[in-house]
Structure 1
Amino acid sequence: MSVSLDQVDMSILGYLQANGKESYSEIARCLGVSEGTVRSRINKMLRHNVFEFIIHTNPNKIGLDVQTIIGLSTKLGMQDEIASRLQRFSEVRFVGAFSGNHDLILQAYFRNNEDLVNFVNRDLAQIDGILNADVNVELKQYKDSFSYLTSE
């Protein structure tokens, strides 16, 4: 279900994306509304899952130097079961079903290449129904953003 957001809501989201620690009173002052308005709008958006407060950790700063995108081909009828099993691995940050060359695509982080090889040959190899794994290692990152807001 989509929630109707007005310009005040979008502005609040913009301030929170720029600085998630910004106080409600400071956001209210910048927008020319009351702190109560900001608080109630944020609470409404949280209730409707418009956003969530998270900490975005830089994987390289915590020793996860190998980022991968892995495309999987799966046996017909097993996509949901395989996706469910993949979610259990701490290395896996994202799993999604896609159209195109791969049935599932996952993003995963590893300390080193050896951990990646072990994941593919030990963990993925034990999951029944995976027909093929196309492993792509990130060489250089140009953008990493969770922002979907456009500036107008």
Structure 2
Amino acid sequence: MIKKAYFYLFYKFYKFTDAVHTVFPHDMAAATAISMLEIVFIFSLKFYYIEYIDPTNELTSLQVIIAVSVILSINSFLFIFKEEWKHYFKEFDKLPRYKNIIGTWVVILIVAFILVTSGISIKAMSEIASHRPK
């Protein structure tokens, strides 16, 4: 179920990149968009962890490199090098119009949630950083 939902998210990003006519291949553009969304979400979780659980913890360069590498590797493998997503696309294209509309709104809400919560966490981290002794 989670895998299917993940491929549906990719499907929606793919269709969006198809509609806006990017210069990059659609699978690469959609995989990059999902990767960026995941990276923002992971770091906002880390910021919340620092803010509410362990204020002495810090985000290190190594953590950033590892997180970005893992996310990009997984998404590249799933969406660029494997062809499994094409089978799901055939299934998603057959969905009734109302289910696709509901799916689109779910994707929009997920993206909005991630962006809003990451914005809040970045603002909170900037306030914490401004109060730290230099």
Please confirm whether the aligned pair reaches a TM-score higher than 0.5, indicating the same fold. Answer: no
Q: Which has the higher contact order (CA 8 A, sep 6+)?
A: 2
Larger-gyration structure (1/2): 1
Structure with more of its chain in strand, by fraction: 1
Report the TM-score, using the length of structure 1 for normalisation: 0.28
